[in-house]
């Protein structure tokens, strides 16, 4: 009997090691810690998708339940930051107000922040985001407003975008800014991943809105999601199996956001929605994501564009959001890009989204916008959030420090 248990323990250990181990690039930050963390996330994801396949739940339900364990319930202020819950145009938010009076300035910087999570997961009340926003308020001597936009599947595009826009419009009024002692000339919009997608889309719309007298001074985008027409950019090809945002998972997030069938994952991964036989229907949009023209050669490496000749002409009809600039800010016209404020974009070498951040920077620069690109050779998707919480990474702490430095200097 003892031999049976010993053999079972050995086999279980081998299986666990096989599941945990991933061949990661030597240049990535703290690879073994990342492998362990990713194994936990992948395990939850696989069980969540399996439950959906059995018809027991929605695709991300278990992942959302697991994420809820990390939520900080109730506003928890610190000696230097007052935290309150409120609503802006019906959209829930948390306000982090620096209580410092050291600079003796009557009005403070303001930052409107949108959390990541593929428009499906996450909350500004999760420990990592809560601590990030509270630290931002303290370090910047600012008022940071974290927006709790609705999530899929209860909300689909453009609901998340509309929540972000309506909350922004309400915040950027003289009444609200006076209430929180925010300087109307020192406002930033920021976010990470899907939250950076919302921040970029809102920044474009607010910049063009002639009825809004108060504008964002800057935007700060952390590894932003900016397009869904090419899932075979060099960074998608290079980093398809790199934690924590695997290539198929990003497509699942897009389908959840746009209300598409999960069975379309393989078609989108093959770029069937932008195949050559689509012709003029998407020619203008594809020109705006042409990475052979927009990416530095160092990022292109030896990769080649992958667009099949024959695709599925019904995909764009089934998922019209793929061509909607509110979902894909990289598709904006040059005239719209000219209007956006000075921009900070953080990208990571080991991230499927690296290239869209780099391409957006290039398009903004060509439109005459001042852009700072902060690229991390050892970075991976979501790394800045790991400046906080139980899984801390050196690249997370370093990138957060530089992000705060840029906001301090430019806001």
Question: Active-site positions?
Answer: 193, 351, 381
- Say whether 409 sits in a helix, a strand or coil: helix
Residue 59 and residue 252 in contact, taking contact as beta carbons nearer than 8 Å: yes
CA dist., res. 123 & res. 56, Å (int): 24
Beta bridge partners of 190: 113, 220
Give the helix, strand, coil percentages of the chain, each rounded to 5.
Answer: 50, 15, 35
CA dist., res. 329 & res. 208, Å (int): 14
Which secondary structure element, helix H or strand E, spans residue 98, and what is its range? strand 91-98
392 CB neighbour count, 10 Å cutoff: 12
The dihedral of CA 123, 216, 374, 361: what is its sign?
positive
Residue 52 and residue 255 in contact, taking contact as beta carbons nearer than 8 Å: no
Residue 116 and residue 193 in contact, taking contact as beta carbons nearer than 8 Å: yes
Query: Strand order in 91-98's β-sheet?
Result: 81-88, 91-98, 142-148, 108-114, 182-192, 218-222, 343-350, 371-380
Q: How far is CA 163 from CA 93, 139, 199, 272, 312, in A?
A: 11, 27, 11, 31, 32
| Paired tokens of 260 | 């598409």
CA dist., res. 145 & res. 199, Å (int): 13
């Amino acid at each position: 009997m003892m031999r049976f248990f010993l053999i079972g323990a050995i086999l279980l250990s081998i299986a666990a090691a096989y599941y945990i181990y991933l061949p990661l690039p030597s240049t990535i930050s703290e690879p073994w810690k990342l492998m362990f963390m990713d194994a936990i996330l992948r395990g939850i994801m696989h069980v969540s998708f399996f439950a959906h396949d059995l018809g027991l739940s929605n695709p991300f339900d278990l992942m959302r339940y697991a994420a809820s364990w990390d939520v900080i319930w109730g506003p928890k202020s610190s000696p230097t930051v007052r935290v309150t819950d409120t609503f802006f145009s019906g959209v829930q938010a948390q306000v982090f107000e620096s209580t410092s009076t050291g600079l003796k300035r009557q009005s403070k910087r303001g930052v409107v922040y949108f959390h990541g999570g593929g428009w499906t997961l996450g909350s500004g009340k999760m420990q990592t985001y809560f601590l990030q926003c509270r630290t931002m308020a303290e370090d910047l001597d600012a008022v940071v407003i974290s927006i709790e936009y609705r999530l899929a599947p209860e909300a689909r595009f453009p609901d998340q975008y509309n929540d972000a826009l309506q909350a922004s419009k309400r915040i950027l009024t003289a009444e609200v800014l006076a209430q929180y002692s925010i300087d109307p000339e020192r406002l930033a919009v920021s976010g990470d991943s899907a939250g950076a997608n919302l921040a970029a889309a809102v920044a474009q719309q607010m910049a063009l809105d002639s009825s809004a007298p108060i504008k964002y001074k800057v935007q700060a985008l952390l590894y932003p999601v900016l397009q869904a027409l090419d899932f075979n950019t060099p960074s998608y090809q290079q980093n398809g199996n790199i934690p924590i945002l695997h290539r198929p998972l990003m497509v699942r997030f897009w389908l959840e956001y746009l209300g598409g069938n999960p069975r379309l994952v393989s078609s989108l991964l093959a770029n069937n929605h932008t195949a050559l036989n689509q012709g003029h229907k998407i020619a203008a949009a594809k020109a705006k994501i042409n990475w052979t023209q927009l990416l530095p050669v160092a990022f292109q490496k030896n990769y080649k564009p992958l667009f099949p000749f024959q695709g599925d002409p019904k995909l764009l009809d089934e998922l019209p959001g793929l061509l909607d600039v509110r979902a894909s800010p990289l598709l904006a016209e040059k005239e719209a890009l000219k209007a956006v404020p000075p921009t900070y974009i953080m990208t990571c070498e080991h991230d499927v989204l690296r290239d869209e951040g780099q391409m957006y920077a290039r398009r903004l620069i060509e439109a005459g916008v001042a852009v700072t690109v902060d690229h991390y050779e050892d970075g991976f998707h979501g790394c800045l959030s790991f400046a906080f919480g139980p899984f801390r990474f050196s690249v997370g702490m370093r990138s957060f420090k530089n992000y705060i430095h840029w906001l301090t200097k430019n806001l």
